Amino acid sequence: MHAILWMGAAVLLGCEGSSERKASEPPGDPFGSGPYETASVDSTVTYKTSYPLGDNIERVVDLRVWYPKDYDGPAPVVLVSHGGNGSIDGHTIFEHLGQEFAAAGYLSAHLNHAESDLTQNASINTAYHRWDRPSDVSAVLDALDAGELMPEAFAGTPRLDRIGHLGHS
């Protein structure tokens, strides 16, 4: 069972499935031997979204980005996001995951989805909730692609062709 889970995680994250660095890989390869020292920085992404009911609402996504220190190569990206109705500190929980991913050479962005309870109507709130989570993730990926979320201390580049996404509620 564990082998199946590991294979699923390796496929999701784009890992080669080995912690050993191959002789042909440059030192510091994110699929290499690690571990790297890690650091984190807090940031935000702001964007406007058009909900299914026609509203145009500005959303602010708080983030904590974990990254490997002194790493200047391409780093696969892992997004960690929560469900529920939002949390004032959703991006700060699961710190151990951010540290572990960064130590392995990944750029780990932890999203805090704002609350979607915008009305007193439960069915409308459910529609908003199902709409804004994917929109938040897309906005974060767009910001990474534009170079807007990169911590100044991180000399590497995000590998947007190698993205993993996990969540919890």
What digits encode the pLDDT tens for the residues 3-38?
A: 333 333 433 444 433 334 333 344 445 455 568 889
Q: What is the pLDDT of residue 154?
A: 86
Contact 70, 63 (CB under 8 A): no
Domain boundaries, the chain: 35-168
**Tokens 């699929």 sit at which residue?**
31
**C-alpha span between 133 and 2 (Å, rounded):** 29
Backbone angles phi, psi at 165, to 5 degrees: -140, 125
- In 3-state terms, what secondary structure has residue 90? coil
User: What SS3 class is residue 120?
Assistant: coil
- What average pLDDT does the chain have? 76
Tokens of 7: 């294979």
Cα separation of 46 and 161, whole Å?
23
pLDDT by residue for the chain (169 residues), tens digit each? 433 333 334 334 444 333 343 333 444 454 555 688 899 999 999 988 876 656 677 888 899 999 998 888 899 999 998 765 556 777 888 899 999 999 999 999 999 887 766 667 777 777 777 778 888 999 999 999 998 887 788 888 899 999 999 987 6
